Chains A and B, each alone.
Chain A
């Protein structure tokens, strides 16, 4: 029987190893791939498509107001490039809707 403390250490240790292996592994594997043609187009497009995939379900889950808030945030970011102000605008749309409607 493994004691509770050892189990805690094991659970955290395994999670840490797995996470680190993925982080470092992705970078090291990519170095083995050619830096031109299809691979290059894939990895050049990747940051944007990952980020978009990360937010899309959350925006849709927030409903119509989520789409509106995301659009306001996106427009502000596009026009001003200011991350913090853009974030606040999106949150403001949600706060107003949730507290006053």
Chain B
């Protein structure tokens, strides 16, 4: 168990680097909104979801619009329903308490790293949890640094820091590619996500693209036609 936790922590270090930078930007924004560091830390530990926290900080003008904020967080984080569901094989044969305990520290990044490791049979809940510990630590560190230093990173675009996330998730996506049977589902996912993002505000594109791509895989099944695909 401890060994897999450590393996998870190490495997998440490359992703954690960009999480730290992302966090420092959030810290800067929070400081500008006069959100105290203790409030920010409370958000980091209890919510632990990057994009939702960005939107909350953005909406943070007293008196706080609590209902709107909660609704926004719900919509942004709906993708966690799918992310949680896709972790089913990793959590096979674990107790309910184990599941409830580990799921809090599941973010996009350690989920993606774990699913990639799962393809090689190396993923365990300890690995997932270790990744979560690594990310939450860096996330807190990054946001606190940004909050303290203010505008330390004045021009993040020049260093492509805005692209770090896209690059790391692209690399992770490639490691999940299962060969020919994924081509059509992936094409559908990409097109639907792009179209949704263009027409519907918010993060709905993650859900619509993910679901429609996976549905494509359900209904277009090359195996059924005798075309054998290796996994």
Give, as a whole number of angstroms, the nearest-CB distance from A35 to chain B.
Answer: 8
Closest to B43 in A: A12
List, in ascending order, chain B residues with CB within 8 A of A69's CB.
Answer: 163, 167
| B186→A48 contact, CB < 8 A | yes
Q: Roughly how many angstroms separate A84 CA and B205 CA in the complex, as a whole number?
A: 26
List, in ascending order, chain A residues with CB within 8 A of B25's CB.
Answer: none
| A11→B66 contact, CB < 8 A | yes
Q: Which listed residue, B42, B189, B221, touches A12 by the CB 8 Å rule? A: B42
B-contacting residues, A70-90, CB 8 Å:
70, 73-74, 76-78, 81, 83-84, 86-90
User: Is A64 interfacial (CB 8 A cutoff)?
Assistant: no
A-contacting residues, B195-218, CB 8 Å:
197-198, 205-218
| A38→B218 contact, CB < 8 A | yes
* Interface SS, A side: helix
List, in ascending order, chain A residues with CB within 8 A of B64's CB.
Answer: 7-8, 11
| B18→A27 contact, CB < 8 A | no
User: Is B91 interfacial (CB 8 A cutoff)?
Assistant: yes
Q: Roughly how many angstroms separate A95 CA and B185 CA in the complex, as a whole number?
A: 32
Q: Roughly how many angstroms separate A20 CA and B70 CA in the complex, as a whole number?
A: 13
User: Is B148 interfacial (CB 8 A cutoff)?
Assistant: no
| A87→B70 contact, CB < 8 A | no
Chain A contact-residue range equals 35 or more
Known pairs A27-B84, A27-B88; A90 contacts B170 (CB<8 A): yes
List, in ascending order, chain B residues with CB within 8 A of A58's CB.
Answer: 165-166
Q: Which of B1-9, B75-83, B137-145 contacts A (4 or more CB under 8 A)?
A: B75-83
Give, as a whole number of angstroms, the nearest-CB distance from B194 to chain A.
Answer: 5
| A62→B170 contact, CB < 8 A | no
User: Is B173 interfacial (CB 8 A cutoff)?
Assistant: yes
Known pairs A15-B56, A58-B166; A51 contacts B176 (CB<8 A): yes
| B81→A15 contact, CB < 8 A | no
Closest to A80 in B: B171
Q: Which listed residue, A45, A77, A87, touches B214 by the CB 8 Å rule? A: A45
List, in ascending order, chain A residues with CB within 8 A of B56's CB.
Answer: 11, 15
Q: Roughly how many angstroms separate A92 CA and B47 CA in the complex, as a whole number?
A: 33
| B86→A54 contact, CB < 8 A | no
Known pairs A23-B103, A42-B215; A53 contacts B163 (CB<8 A): no
| A73→B85 contact, CB < 8 A | no
Apart from the given pairs A18-B74, A45-B216, A46-B210, 19 other A-B contacts in the complex at a CB distance below 8 Å: A7-B63, A7-B66, A15-B52, A15-B73, A23-B103, A42-B214, A46-B85, A46-B214, A50-B206, A51-B173, A53-B206, A56-B190, A73-B170, A76-B171, A77-B170, A83-B14, A83-B113, A94-B160, A95-B160
Residues of A within 8 A of B (CB): 4, 7-8, 10-16, 18-20, 22-31, 35, 38, 41-60, 62, 66, 69-70, 73-74, 76-78, 81, 83-84, 86-92, 94-95, 98-99
Chosen A-B contacts, 17 in total, with CB atoms closer than 8 Å, are: A11-B64, A15-B47, A22-B84, A26-B80, A26-B85, A27-B88, A29-B84, A43-B88, A47-B112, A50-B206, A51-B172, A53-B208, A55-B166, A57-B193, A74-B170, A78-B177, A83-B15
